[in-house]
């Protein structure tokens, strides 16, 4: 009996193993795809990076769709489900908050409408890409990826699904609505002067403030905990709103006499990563760099004539409006009562009955307060990325085709969302343009909820040439790391809140060191882990008296520290733990939770300089001592009594985890990758932490583009090309990514380990 049971178990294991093995793509493959004009040849190099050779751009889009599906089909499935509000069909009630928000915002409904306004060539690219994805699905069925063995074959891909990627990025890279709701939650229980200094401000001329408004709304009973009902980073399927470094110099500052450009977008660290490297060769064009599974365009990279990259501008393109009820089913407008637009959404929930969600919209946008209390006060959100006629896809296509800095600028104007800083270089010149649309407000600065009576309505847009831009600056260089863009002669108001220039300050210091920069120099800069924030506030920390023995030893380690965040040092761990505790204590003393505060480094630097009187009563010593004591206590409990033996890399692990499977036993570890990582939130090589000081946000892709020889440009991404955890290319970039190593995407790889031929 036991023998037969054992044999049966072995057979089941073999069957399961065989099924999983069949989800891996073959090394040699030929596939027929309807609509191709000619055969497409694809070779995968030693890192699993495809080099696509196609006769036309449409054929290349089909091929890209096929290889994206080959390596990342389940990631693409989760992306479209997340944006469509259909995650709970797979994950059950745990993802209902995400589904409710996606349905309330109507991301898919708006993508369907946007498809109709895409130019014919953009629509053709989207359709060609979908044909490639669907060819993989039709050929592989439930073997398209390991996850589909249990879920069944994925539904066919559509052009609308590709537009959902842009909708998702537009939402998460513009997070002002959360900040508005937090300000409202603080109003009435925290002094307004404290609220005003929680977030740094831009230096542009700010329109009349709306500081008194939240108090008035508090009296109306507007829920002050709505912000906690809205999904927010680092929750799965969310992104941080501040991200990325970019710098570009012209030939006066390089060894070759041609421009150099560097860019590394900072996004959530997931498994698999958001980016997918590829090289695409056409008879009259070459594209190389970072693609995004689900999208038929190159998002970051270079063509034959230009190179480009993005950072987030941080523009305020979201406003919360408090509407006035006007009887059942209506609300008040300047033209009298108007009915809500009403949509009924049915959300399927795995293991539970369907949930029916009633979505209301006003003239400003979706009613987000219904997520908390449909019977309470009415809060509607206006978002630029939810506005009609979104042509971001057409803008990316135009950018892929651009042959000069000026043409890239015209493409930027077509990318309607999100608002990004586009740095670009051609063989002679450099430039910076802002993408997206920024609302012009009738009144107010957009920092807090405002009345929906028309007094604070959006009355127009800043876009294209109306936004800051520069071509061939006199300095010969452009730097941005999410700090405000300031161009002489353009005082466009982009929002009240801003981020401090910690990374930009360090980038400029390194650029100042030479006028003979090379691509390798820029790659080393991207891996730099010196913190200008630590350099600034260390004197304040070192001035705090220390009497307890272990605290004194820990503090002495900081005295000769060079402010580098290396994994083999104790100082970054001591510093970041101390600063984190100080941040919490300062806020707690005023009745503010950590999740209600502004950016930690920016706020701490302010408190230790201009904010001492307001936040510390003139002297922060007591709070700094208490924070140090708590930090050292926690570190001693975990790592022992010798501060010199503590190590940043022990704690600061870059975590690449699957957004759903990470929580499952056995499967979770197979879909999670971790590696000790240098840097912190203020270094060029960014490693923003969660509450446990794990690295969850950083440069998932780095590119350095040499306009003297674009084929020698340098790239790296994390964690690997494949989303299949059984693949050898699921994690093979991790160590190189951590250590600042790079690869090239020239026409000839070192070796070809797989080949694919697509035929009409």
**Calpha distance 606→615 (Å, rounded):** 10
The pTM for the full model equals 0.95
Contact 102, 84 (CB under 8 A): yes
In 3D space, the residue among 724, 730, 737 whose CA is nearest the CA of residue 698 turns out to be 737
Contact 228, 526 (CB under 8 A): no
Contact 529, 566 (CB under 8 A): yes
Per-residue CA distances from 417 to 169, 396, 421, 464, 584 (Å): 8, 11, 12, 12, 35
Contact 32, 39 (CB under 8 A): no
Residue spans of alpha helices (H) in 116-230? 120-140, 148-151, 159-172, 176-186, 192-197, 213-219, 226-229
Looking at the chain, the whole-number percentage of residues with pLDDT higher than 90 is 81
> Looking at residues 431-455, what average pLDDT do you find?
95
User: What's the pLDDT at 230?
Assistant: 66
DSSP 721: S
Residue 232 reports pLDDT greater than 90: no
pLDDT in tens, 110-127: 999 999 999 999 999 999
**Calpha distance 239→386 (Å, rounded):** 18
Looking at every residue in the chain, the average pLDDT score rounds to: 92
pLDDT in tens, 314-327: 999 999 999 999 98
DSSP string, 538-555: HHHHHTS---SHHHHHHH
Neighbours of 728 (CB within 10 A): 14
**Calpha distance 297→397 (Å, rounded):** 6
375 — pLDDT class (breaks 50, 70, 90): confident
Residue 1, classed as helix, strand or coil, is coil
Cis-peptide into 234, omega within 30 deg:
yes
| b/e burial code for range 465-499 (CB count within 10 A of at least 16 → b) | ebbbbbbebeebbbbbbbbbbeeeebebbbbbbbb
**Calpha distance 560→558 (Å, rounded):** 6
- Find all residues with CB under 8 Å of 222, minimum gap 6, and list them: 184, 322, 369, 376, 377, 379, 449
pLDDT in tens, 8-41: 666 666 766 677 778 899 999 999 999 999 999 9
**Calpha distance 318→144 (Å, rounded):** 38
Half-sphere exposure of 28 (CA within 13 A, CB side): 0
In 3D space, the residue among 566, 509, 599 whose CA is nearest the CA of residue 687 turns out to be 566
DSSP string, 660-703: TGGGSTTHHHHTEEEEE----TTSSS--EE-TT--EEEEESEEE
User: What's the pLDDT at 213?
Assistant: 47
**Calpha distance 332→137 (Å, rounded):** 49
**Calpha distance 17→10 (Å, rounded):** 10
pLDDT in tens, 675-710: 999 999 999 999 988 888 999 889 999 999 999 999
DSSP 187: B
Residue 489 reports pLDDT greater than 90: no
**Calpha distance 290→350 (Å, rounded):** 34
DSSP string, 376-436: S-EEEEEEGGGSS---HHHHHHHHHH--SHHHHHHHHHH--SS-EEEEEE-SS-EEEEE-S
Write out the two tokens for 109.
Answer: 């409904």
In 3D space, the residue among 476, 512, 89 whose CA is nearest the CA of residue 257 turns out to be 476
Residue 632, classed as helix, strand or coil, is helix
CA angle 459, 465, 261 (to 5 degrees): 130
**Calpha distance 275→300 (Å, rounded):** 9
Residue 221, classed as helix, strand or coil, is coil
Residue 720, classed as helix, strand or coil, is coil
pLDDT in tens, 583-620: 999 999 999 999 889 899 999 999 999 999 999 999 99
User: What's the pLDDT at 667?
Assistant: 75
Write out the two tokens for 206.
Answer: 């700010």
**Calpha distance 331→310 (Å, rounded):** 40
pLDDT in tens, 65-105: 999 999 999 999 999 999 999 999 999 999 999 999 999 99
Continuous segment of H or E residues that includes residue 526: helix 519-526
pLDDT in tens, 641-653: 999 999 999 999 9
**Calpha distance 305→287 (Å, rounded):** 10
Per-residue CA distances from 243 to 313, 430, 716, 740 (Å): 9, 22, 17, 18
204 — pLDDT class (breaks 50, 70, 90): very low
């Amino acid at each position: 009996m036991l023998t037969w049971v054992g044999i049966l178990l072995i057979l089941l294991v073999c069957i399961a193993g065989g099924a999983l093995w069949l989800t891996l793509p073959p090394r040699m493959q030929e596939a027929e795809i309807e609509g191709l004009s000619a055969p497409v040849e694809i070779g995968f190099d030693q890192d699993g990076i495809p080099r696509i050779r196609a006769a036309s751009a449409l054929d290349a889009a089909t091929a890209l769709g096929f290889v994206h599906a080959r390596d990342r089909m389940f990631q693409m499935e989760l992306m479209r489900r997340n944006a469509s509000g259909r995650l709970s069909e797979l994950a059950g009630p745990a993802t209902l908050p995400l589904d409710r928000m996606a349905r309330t915002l109507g991301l898919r409904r708006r993508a369907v409408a946007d498809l109709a306004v895409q130019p014919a060539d953009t629509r053709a690219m989207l359709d060609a890409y979908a044909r490639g994805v669907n060819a993989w699905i039709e050929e592989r069925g439930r073997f398209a990826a390991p996850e589909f063995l249990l879920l069944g074959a994925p539904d066919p891909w559509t052009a609308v699904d590709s537009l959902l990627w842009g909708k998702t990025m537009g939402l998460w890279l513009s997070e002002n609505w959360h900040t508005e709701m937090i300000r409202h939650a603080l109003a009435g229980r925290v002094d307004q002067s404290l609220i005003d200094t929680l977030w740094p401000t831009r230096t542009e001329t700010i329109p009349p403030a709306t500081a008194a408004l939240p108090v008035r709304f508090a009296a109306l009973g507007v829920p002050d905990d709505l912000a906690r009902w809205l999904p927010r980073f680092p929750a799965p399927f969310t992104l941080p709103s501040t991200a990325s470094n970019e710098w570009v110099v012209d030939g006066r500052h390089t060894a070759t006499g041609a421009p150099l450009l560097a860019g590394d977008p900072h996004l959530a660290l997931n498994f698999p990563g958001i980016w997918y490297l590829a090289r695409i060769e056409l008879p009259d064009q070459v594209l190389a760099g970072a693609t995004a599974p689900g999208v038929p365009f190159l998002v970051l990279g270079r063509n034959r004539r230009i190179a480009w990259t993005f950072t987030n501008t941080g523009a305020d393109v979201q406003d919360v409006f408090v509407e006035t009820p006007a009887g059942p089913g209506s609300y008040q407008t300047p033209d009298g009562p108007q009915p809500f637009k009403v949509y009924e959404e049915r959300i399927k929930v795995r293991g539970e009955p369907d949930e029916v969600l009633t979505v209301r919209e006003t003239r400003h946008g979706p009613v987000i307060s219904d997520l908390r209390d449909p019977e309470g006060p009415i809060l509607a959100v206006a978002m630029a990325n939810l506005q009609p006629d979104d042509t971001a896809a057409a803008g990316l296509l135009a950018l892929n085709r651009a042959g000069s800095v000026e043409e890239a600028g015209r493409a930027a104007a077509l990318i309607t969302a999100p608002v990004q800083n586009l740095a670009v270089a051609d063989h002679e010149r450099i430039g910076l343009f802002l993408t997206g649309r920024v609302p012009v407000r009738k009144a107010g600065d957009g920092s807090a909820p405002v009345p929906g009576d028309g007094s604070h309505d959006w009355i127009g847009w800043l876009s294209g040439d109306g936004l800051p831009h520069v071509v061939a600056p006199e300095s010969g260089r452009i730097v941005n790391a999410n700090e405000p863009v300031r161009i002489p002669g353009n005082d466009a108001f982009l929002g009240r809140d801003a981020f401090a220039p910690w990374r930009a300050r360090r980038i400029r210091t390194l650029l100042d060191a030479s006028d003979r920069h090379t691509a390798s120099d820029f790659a080393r800069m991207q891996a730099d882990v010196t913190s200008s924030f630590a350099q600034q506030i260390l004197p304040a920390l070192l001035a705090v008296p220390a009497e307890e023995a272990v605290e004194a030893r820990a503090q002495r380690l900081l005295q000769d520290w060079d402010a580098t965040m290396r994994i083999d040092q104790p100082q970054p761990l001591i510093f970041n733990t101390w600063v984190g505790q100080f941040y919490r204590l300062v806020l707690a003393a005023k009745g503010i939770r950590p999740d209600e505060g502004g950016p930690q480094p920016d706020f701490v630097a302010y408190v230790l300089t201009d904010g001492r009187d307001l936040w510390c009563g003139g002297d922060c010593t007591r709070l700094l001592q208490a924070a140090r004591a708590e930090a050292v206590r926690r570190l001693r409990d975990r790592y022992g009594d010798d501060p010199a033996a503590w190590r940043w890399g022990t704690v600061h692990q870059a975590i690449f985890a699957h957004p759903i499977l990470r929580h499952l036993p056995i499967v979770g570890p197979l879909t999670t990758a971790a590696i000790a990582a240098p840097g912190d939130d203020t270094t060029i090589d960014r490693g923003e932490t969660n509450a446990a000081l794990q690295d969850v946000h950083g440069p998932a892709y780095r590119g350095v583009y040499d306009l003297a020889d674009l084929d020698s440009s340098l790239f790296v991404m994390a964690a690997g090309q494949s989303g299949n955890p059984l693949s050898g290319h699921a994690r093979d970039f991790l160590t190189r990514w951590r250590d600042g190593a790079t690869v090239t995407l020239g026409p000839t790889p070192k070796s070809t380990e797989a080949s694919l031929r697509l035929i009409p």
